[in-house]
Amino acid sequence: MTKLVDLLTKGTVIVDIGLILLKVLALFMALTFHEFAHGWVARRLGDHTAESQGRLTLNPKDHIDPFGTVLLPAMLILMKSPVVFGWAKPVPIDPRNFKDPRRGMMWSALGGPMINLFLAAALAVIFKAMLMAEFHVRGLLLFLIIAIQLNVFLAVFNLIPIPPLDGGRVMVGLLPPRQAMAYSRIEPYGFMIVIALMYFNILDRFAFYPIQIILRFLGIG
């Protein structure tokens, strides 16, 4: 895949600013669908909080978090990081509206990563169809590759079982009530734990293989 990306960018009019715009567009799309899916699943399970606050929308501006959606991705792009990621403003969910609050939160949390995997699969189909039809629009092909990789990365990253990541909420929903309550207490320290795991490259080892397996399954890796 690295060779394909190099081929698409080499000797084209896609300069650095163009590549940055493609990454930003892909990130906004992935994060918007991610948060929309949280709210959509919650509504299906009886919680209309996101809808009542105007957050059940695919308009990116309604999901922008100043740091997670703008500043952090910009810093990563300027640092020429091989991975660009971020987060959007969380969709409001009131577990009291679910028949089973713990399970309702679990399924709502799963909605985000699942829509990212669905998007990655759909975009992979489009990408391979374009190659088979010899419809070689380099900018579009490059965007599809970036969007596929980003959606897979976000899905795997968010499924890490550490609150407040989606995987942590899934774990809380699966554990017995007493253990779930104890496990949820690490949420205030969750991001510090994630940063520490990233610093010591533990997170890279955990996430690398699932990402590669999914990309190969999609025919992109």
Q: Is 35 one of the catalytic residues? A: yes
Catalytic annotation, pick one of 35, 51, 134, 187:
35
Q: What is the CA radius of gyration of the chain?
A: 18
Could you read off the pLDDT of 127-172 as tens digits, one per residue? 999 999 988 888 899 999 999 999 999 999 999 999 999 999 999 9
Name the residue ranges covered by the structural domains of the chain.
2-217
Could you read off the pLDDT of 105-129 as tens digits, one per residue? 999 999 999 999 999 999 999 999 9
Non-local CB neighbours of 197 within 8 Å, separated by 6+ positions: 203, 206
The whole-chain average pLDDT of the chain stands at 89
Is the per-residue pLDDT at 17 higher than 70? yes
Is the per-residue pLDDT at 14 higher than 60? no
Give the residue-averaged pLDDT of 11-19.
Answer: 60
Cis upstream peptide for 164 (omega within 30°)? yes
Angle 112-113-115 from CA coordinates, rounded to 5°: 70
Non-local CB neighbours of 168 within 8 Å, separated by 6+ positions: 160, 161, 162, 183, 184, 186, 187, 190
Could you read off the pLDDT of 171-194 as tens digits, one per residue? 999 999 999 999 999 999 998 998
In terms of C-beta distances under 8 Å and separation of at least 24 residues, what long-range contacts does 59-63 make, across chains too?
Answer: 59/32, 60/28, 60/29, 60/31, 60/32, 63/31, 63/32, 63/35, 63/36, 63/88, 63/89, 63/91
3-class secondary-structure state, position 49: helix
Tokens 């070689």 label which residue? Answer: 136
Backbone angles phi, psi at 202, to 5 degrees: -75, -40
Is the per-residue pLDDT at 16 higher than 80? no
- List alpha helices for the chain, DSSP H: 2-9, 16-44, 49-52, 72-78, 101-132, 138-158, 166-174, 177-184, 190-199, 202-217
Is the per-residue pLDDT at 11 higher than 60? no
CA distance from start to end of the chain: 6
- The dihedral built from the CA positions of residue 167, 212, 215 and 83, taken in this order, carries a sign that is positive
CA distance 87 to 142: 22
Question: What band does 13 get if pLDDT is binned at 50, 70 and 90?
Answer: very low
Could you read off the pLDDT of 189-215 as tens digits, one per residue? 998 998 888 788 887 777 888 999 999
Question: What band does 27 get if pLDDT is binned at 50, 70 and 90?
Answer: very high
Its pTM stands at: 0.89
Angle 118-56-171 from CA coordinates, rounded to 5°: 55
Cβ neighbourhood burial of 25 (10 Å; 0-12, 13-18, 19+): middle
